[in-house]
Structure 1
């Protein structure tokens, strides 16, 4: 029994245990000496709900895991079965790697959201953390949390191969995405500038070391980013 045979058995088990609708189709390509590989592609028509269907769902976390396992098995099959490395199957390999990268990006987005949420929780509980310097860290934490959420949305769009969040969100998404990333960059510049002043002009920095100034600088990063990106992206799309 080859790795290809194991791959087919695993796929057939998933097929028999799934009766839901989906936007993806699983196909088996016959190669030399009955070698096989799986293709995940977007289906243009409404899928069948029959138990004999070749479709699997991507509507739940468990089904996303199944897709991830399938892609890993495909890469293993490519690595072991040299006869699978045909001209046509190179395109399949590219799709497989792309799907795995989407899953990795989604995982990194989830970790980003979780870690920054913990930092915000620490700021909320521990008053000693609310110092002048940490106000800049707080600003970057908020922007990075939003970046994680935005990247999760991007990963979802790449997984479903279409925009599923509505037209209104679509009009504003690009502007918000670029603005939040801009805030992260400007926040780092603000921290670097503050450290430069503290090193080069320590007395002046000590005299102006107030939370009110930090809040003003943080607010300015949001104003600059939003005023630059929203008109360029959102208003342009609405015209």
Structure 2
């Protein structure tokens, strides 16, 4: 079995000495069935997720717009895997080298944008944790769409400049298996996995641990009010207490002091009574509720775990391969290389499962879809 994509077959494709072995190897029907099943599961799971977001309006919240973006990217990853399955079955890349140069970049764009989307979710949660009022004021579906364009734009520019443009300039011979130019060089071969995993993982780890630390430091209590109550407004300070929704998450009690003379207050927290601050009256601050924060944080946790579990093994293997190939080939058995090579794609299958695990409404919507009923 031969997998076309770099992540799934890099240890197989980086050396042309394996071509003779591939020519004489008969197609293993059991070997091709697993990639087909895996690809179908990714496509179906993410397609059902997109349908759920379409038919259930309550799922189309600000926070879930980031999830929708990630679902679209994972669905497209599954579609690109169809080409990998075809390549695996016939034993060579079925299209021209010019198409190879373009599709290689497009595949990398989709995969990298998917990983950067996780970084974006972490960054948004970080802002919601450290600057909750301004985060709530600035958030909108339009803003969510703009933010979600960032992973697409960054990935598109970087990978076309890193893969397609150099290969056309030097007229690189991609061979029978659509090999990338950087796979035959040590340092350029490390850059992709730094971009795909190590850099996003570092950012995610820093942001997530900061989120956890902030929650533990400021949201440790359990007895809180049902609404955000502003106090001492006439003294130039606002004291807000987080509501308690009875959940077992880390979101509990917090006190937020906002200086009314601050420049950041020009956009100010939304109030039910704009004159309340001047009158020294108690009013309600609109911001992300404890339920929203708990659900978003829980979803983020499951997505981050899926990302690390899926990408870490192959990233370590490819880092070792770039430094000393003999430690991987033939040191690591071929079935193991192929197994770990497919693991990054497991992330695209685990993500929709993560939504169902962390969001009861999403789970019930999928369940009702299978029962062909709507509320």
TM category, shorter: 0.5 to 0.7
The answer to whether the 8 A contact 1:103-1:155 is kept is: no
Aligned 1:1-239 pairs, distance under 5 A: 42=23, 67-68=29-30, 100=31, 102-239=32-169
The answer to whether the 8 A contact 2:66-2:117 is kept is: yes
The residue that corresponds to 1:13 in the other structure is: none
| Closer/same/farther in 2, CA of residues 168 and 120 from structure 1, 3 Å limit | farther
Q: 2:139 aligns to what SS in structure 1? A: coil
TM-score norm. by structure 1 comes to 0.57
Report deviation, 1:152.
2.5
Report deviation, 1:178.
0.8
Q: 1:238 aligns to what SS in structure 2? A: helix
- The answer to which of 220-229 and 191-200 deviates more is 191-200
Report deviation, 1:195.
1.1
Q: Which has the higher strand share?
A: 1
TM-score norm. by structure 2 comes to 0.37
Q: 1:151 aligns to what SS in structure 2? A: helix
Report deviation, 1:182.
0.9
Report deviation, 1:159.
2.1
Report deviation, 1:167.
4.0
Report deviation, 1:171.
2.1
Report deviation, 1:169.
2.8
The answer to whether the 8 A contact 2:22-2:91 is kept is: no
The answer to whether the 8 A contact 1:172-1:234 is kept is: yes
Report deviation, 1:41.
6.6
Q: Is there any run of 5+ residues in structure 1 with no aligned partner, and where?
A: 1-39, 44-54, 59-63, 69-99
Report deviation, 1:120.
1.1
The answer to whether the 8 A contact 2:106-2:156 is kept is: yes
Report deviation, 1:155.
2.5
Q: Is there any run of 5+ residues in structure 2 with no aligned partner, and where?
A: 1-20, 170-375
Counterpart CA distance in 2 for 1:212 and 1:165 is 39
The structure whose RCO (Cα within 8 Å, separation 6+) is larger is 2
The answer to whether the 8 A contact 2:65-2:145 is kept is: yes
Summarize deviations over 1:142-175 as a string: whole Å, max 9, x none: 1111111222311221221111134443121110
The residue that corresponds to 1:20 in the other structure is: none
| Closer/same/farther in 2, CA of residues 165 and 114 from structure 1, 3 Å limit | farther
Counterpart CA distance in 1 for 2:103 and 2:87 is 12
Summarize deviations over 1:171-207 as a string: whole Å, max 9, x none: 2111011110111111000111111111222111111
